[in-house]
Amino acid sequence: MGDAPANLPHRQGHRQYGAAARSRFSQAQHYAALDLGTNNCRLLIARPSANGFTVIDAFSRIVRLGEGLATTGRISDAAIERTLAALAVCSSKLRRRNVTLSRAVATEACRRAANGAEFIARAQAETGILLDIITAEEEARLAVLGCHALIEPGEDPALVFDIGGGSTELVLIDTATPVPTVLDWHSAPWGVVSLTEAVASHGAGSLAEAYGWMRDRAREAMAPIAARLPKSIACPRLLGTSGTVTTLASVYLALDHYDRSAVDGLIVPASAMRAISSDLANRSIEQRAEIPCIGSERADLVVAGCAILETILDLWPAERLGVADRGIREGILRRLMGTPRP
């Protein structure tokens, strides 16, 4: 992929607090947020702090809960076993950290699966974790609450998007107030898992051959919100929160391993993200797997994410793109700790 461009990327600043301020939170209660998506199972455990909260433990594992869902309409036995194993790890962490208050949510895969409720019941019985299947709208609002602090300053509305495993959430927000106001939102039924599997089921060829087809499907799915937005905000500030944008940001920085501190809050030229997307789409799965921060776990799914991202940039041609390695889990934590809702 080559070296990162010579111009240094911009990152959002962070406020610093003295020891006296930090000490007030040293004995704070522990809170936890678990986000079970179509592709990932992710947990954060945190305590309140002067900065909002301090993470004391975390866990993330690719479980591919939605694998095969588009074809069968059900969560497969193999996907259930993978996910239950990940939830067992989360349960152990929750007990070990003496969590006071927690919330666990499930998104698109469980919303769509005929056996979603059955899986939720089994997960609670075997791991003690009760998953709440949330709506696409709540998913979008939680993502905004978790990452809106990273939106670049400006007066015009901003567009926050979350490219998930089974769907892509787009939220137009007004940032004039401390807690953003949601002006419009849309859930497109394509994510990296569902769109990748659609290529095979529709006989659209290899991922490279089907790249244009995937972009067309994403454009069709996003057309309703694109049509609703007035021309005066055709180019809003963009902030992406997902494995796709954080992975591409890692490639942009030429990282040899993933580094959240380097990626979270990064501002990247949209042209660079387009170039990386096009390059990845034209590589073989083996070549993509050799790239640090993609590897074998993401090599087959990242192309669909690139197609969705490029479609967003087609519809809203911003010059720069903000990158957030935060979202639903952070939004849940802020709600548990009393932050007002967007």
pLDDT tens, residue order, the chain (342 aa) = 433 333 334 343 333 334 444 344 445 589 999 999 999 999 999 999 887 899 999 999 999 999 999 889 999 999 999 999 999 999 999 999 999 899 999 999 999 999 999 999 999 999 999 999 999 999 999 999 999 999 998 888 999 999 999 999 999 999 888 778 999 999 999 999 999 999 887 766 678 789 999 999 999 999 999 999 877 777 789 999 988 999 999 999 999 999 999 999 999 999 999 999 999 999 999 999 999 999 998 999 999 999 999 999 999 999 999 999 999 999 999 999 986 667
Domains of the chain, each with CATH number or no CATH = 19-136 (3.30.420.40), 151-324 (3.30.420.150)
Q: For residue 196, which of 308, 73, 277, 78 has the smallest C-alpha distance?
A: 308
The C-alpha atoms of residue 342 and residue 174 are separated, in whole angstroms, by 10
Predicted TM-score (pTM) of the model is: 0.85
The C-alpha atoms of residue 125 and residue 106 are separated, in whole angstroms, by 16
Strand ranges inside the chain, DSSP E = 10-11, 31-36, 40-49, 52-62, 101-106, 131-133, 158-163, 168-174, 181-188, 237-241, 266-269, 320-324
pLDDT at 155: 85
Cβ(266)–Cβ(249) below 8 Å = yes
